[in-house]
A and B are shown apart, each in its own frame.
Chain A
Amino acid sequence: MFSKILIANRGEIALRILRACRTMGIEAVVAYSEADRDSLAVQLADEAICIGPSDARRSYLSVPAIISAAVVTGCDAIHPGYGFLSEDETFAEVVRAHDLTFIGPPPEVLDRFASKEGTRRLLGGYGLPTIPGSVGMLRDDEHALAEADRIGYPVLIKPSAGGGGKGMRMVRTPRELESSLRVCRSEAKSAFGDDALYLEKWLDDTRHVEVQVAVDRYGLGVQFGERDCSVQRRHQKILEEGPTTALSPAARAELCERAIHAVVAAGYENVGTLEFLVDAEGKAYFIEINCRIQVEHGVTEMLTGIDLVAMQIRIAAGEPLGMTQADVQPRGHAIEFRINAEDPAHDFRPGAGTVERYHAPGGPGIRMDSHLFPGYEVPPFYDSLLGKLIAWGPDRATAIERGRAALDELVVDGIVTNLEIHKALISSETFLEGRMTTNLLDRVGSAAFLAAAARP
């Protein structure tokens, strides 16, 4: 087992990893940028080291700074958290070259699953239903039209080299496709330096369901059930829950079984999540795999009682999984609310500022994962996640009731947060009936949503 781990991340996940290290009796060093000097993880750490300025490219994204910090503090492993370098196979390679262990999949596994399109073909070959898409990159407009015809409109034009919405367009007709291809190519070229495009079937009114898995170095894999992450705003998750209301228990079980068999067969290692889109008929299509710990991992932890971060560390240290599928017994229902420094009344404009008052709710089934504290100055340089409020109950209705009470009890004063959208969601009919789709907020518009919630 590792004697000392460098935590190469910030905010709530740095605190999460620190807590896992503490429970395992492993020393931890928190690496931080200048902007995070007063952050909670740094305050609570036994050891902390400043690795660079606020600019992430020279701190949290700087391979030499992170590895140098690990070397000079005598660490033997690095936990990359999520985002930043957590899925960067080059980083994982350099970590290994310095006789350190990257806590996550080994570099060759990260490499194998690096391409979204390649991963779909790989896991499709191992029995996962995948979203229909073009075979290979689009050679020219003629090829694009032929492929779109084969797949069936509407289709989504996607850039091969990156994400975040750049170079992406949904089109419903051949004419729309023709005119959009030009635009997408130039957007992709300027954003990623690569104008290669491919097509993916576009599903209206889908649900997003993902399966949490873990595979140890010896090929033993276990799935921990699924999470429903359908409540999104512009493809960003804001609320997650488990189990999903999109599928019957039998369909859920089948999806999870297929997922774990496919990743084990494809040689995945460590903790990961397989994402699926589920259409109105309940058909699931695999879209991508996340080879890291995710923001919403706490939902699964509340349902199963398992520490997924500790599991990452154990697998990376070469320990066997130490459990079988029969040992995984999810119980009850859990809902996570992502509390962001965003203003729902102004198009979710991100904000910064000082948290003047902070109070975390508690009580049965309530877990608050947050790096906030009274007086904390939220830095403007990074993502807007302030914390995650998770409510668990023996059934969905109880989880919702506890969640509502906890949201009312939660206090974050001094900065604007998206608390109101969560309060609106949790009282909306769509949510209560378990019928959320990924485009719900975008289609209805958050302002309308908030207004509807305000009406008695």
Chain B
Amino acid sequence: MPQDRDTGPDAARAAAHAGIERLMDTLLPSLIAKLATLNVGELEVREGDWQVRLRHPMAAGQDFGRRATDRSGQRAHAGHEAVGAPAPARALASGVVAGATTAASNGTLPALSPVGPGRTADGPPARDPGPGVPVPRGPIATSPAVGIFQPGSAAVAGARVKAGERLGAVDMLGIPQDVVAPADGIVASILVEGGTAVEYGQELVGIEATAGSEAR
């Protein structure tokens, strides 16, 4: 909408709208394309007052299905609570979650509203993260028990691991259950933060299998 004046609240709002338009129409699509080609898990971009964080699903604990552990994960996450009320997260068609994040949120976006383990709000049970989101490639180390995930020293992106190597443990009522690498390879992403509650079989660490190794 054309403005007569280029200062004042109306002008500021118009500028914000224009900025968002630029983000959605131009910047975001090219960023997503770039993210796919780069070997990074996360990309943050500022455009004016807006900040957009793009996260590749392999790099984030994003789980578009409802797990009981989402809520408890937040409970176990006492140290990561955002200051002030975080803006509600909305999944966009491209699978990117955007929103104003506060500096104190440490990059932890609020969990999506609950639905069911591995399921979306209105669809049949699905094993993958959700529509529009690429399924994690490669072998994945899953939780051997229901409890609290404790990543070990080998659980860092880029670390070279061998099949059977201990990546960490899940503390089940004080009894540590080892999480092991399912194949030789490089740790690509930690899907769940340490201290988070996980269920049996939950995906914890994504491995990029190296050439010649056996995939899971």
Residues of A near any B CB (own CB < 8 A) = 29, 34, 37-38, 42-43, 45-53, 59, 64-65, 67-69, 71-74, 98
Contacts and interface: CB of A to CB of B under 8 A. Distances in A.
A52 B145 CA distance: 6
A65 B171 CA distance: 10
Contact of B147 (A45, A46, A72, A98): A72
Interface string B168-208: 00001101000000000000000000000101111000000
Nearest to B117: A48
Given A52-B146, A65-B200, A71 B173 contact: yes
A98 B174 CA distance: 12
8 contacts: A42-B117, A43-B125, A48-B117, A65-B146, A68-B172, A68-B173, A72-B146, A98-B173
A50 B201 contact: yes
Nearest to A72: B197
Contact of A38 (B76, B125, B197): B125
Interface in B62-100: 66-69, 71-72, 75-76
A53 B145 CA distance: 9
Contacts of A42: 116-117
A445 to B, nearest CB: 44
Contacts of B202: 50
Interface of B: 66-69, 71-72, 75-76, 114, 116-117, 125, 145-148, 172-173, 175, 197, 199-202
What DSSP secondary structure best describes chain B's contact surface?
Answer: loop
Contacts of B147: 68, 72
Contact of A50 (B125, B148, B200): B200
A345 B121 CA distance: 44
Contacts of B66: 47
A47 B68 contact: yes
A46 B116 CA distance: 7
Contacts of A50: 117, 146, 199-202
Contacts of B76: 72
Nearest to B66: A47
Q: Which of A37, A38, A43, A68 has the most CB of B within 10 A?
A: A68
B72 A74 contact: yes
B201 A72 contact: no
Contacts of A46: 114
A182 B67 CA distance: 54
Contacts of B68: 29, 47-49, 72-73
B173 A51 contact: no
Contact of A65 (B114, B117, B125, B145): B145
A38 B199 CA distance: 16
A47 B201 contact: no
Contacts, number: 73
B145 A68 contact: yes
B175 A64 contact: yes
A51 to B, nearest CB: 5
Contacts of B125: 37-38, 43
Candidate in B116, B146, B172, B199 with the most chain A CB atoms within 10 angstroms:
B146
B204 to A, nearest CB: 13
Nearest to A71: B173
A15 to B, nearest CB: 15
Contacts of A73: 68-69, 71-72, 197
Most B CB within 10 A of own CB, among A45, A48, A50, A72 = A72
Nearest to A45: B116
A72 B145 contact: no
- Interface centre among B75, B117, B199, by most chain A C-beta atoms within 10 angstroms, is B199
Across chains A and B, which 5 residue pairs bring their CB atoms closest together, nearest first?
A: A72-B197, A49-B68, A50-B199, A64-B173, A47-B68
Contacts of A37: 117, 125
A73 B75 CA distance: 9
Contacts of A65: 145-146, 172, 200
Given A49-B199, A52-B145, A74-B75, A64 B116 contact: no
Given A38-B125, A68-B173, A49 B146 contact: yes
Q: Which of A48, A53, A98 has the most CB of B within 10 A?
A: A48
A47 to B, nearest CB: 4
B124 to A, nearest CB: 10
A34 B118 CA distance: 13
A298 to B, nearest CB: 28
B40 to A, nearest CB: 31
Nearest to B76: A72
Contacts of A69: 146, 199
A72 B200 contact: no
A255 to B, nearest CB: 44
A415 to B, nearest CB: 21
Contact of B116 (A48, A59, A74, A98): A48
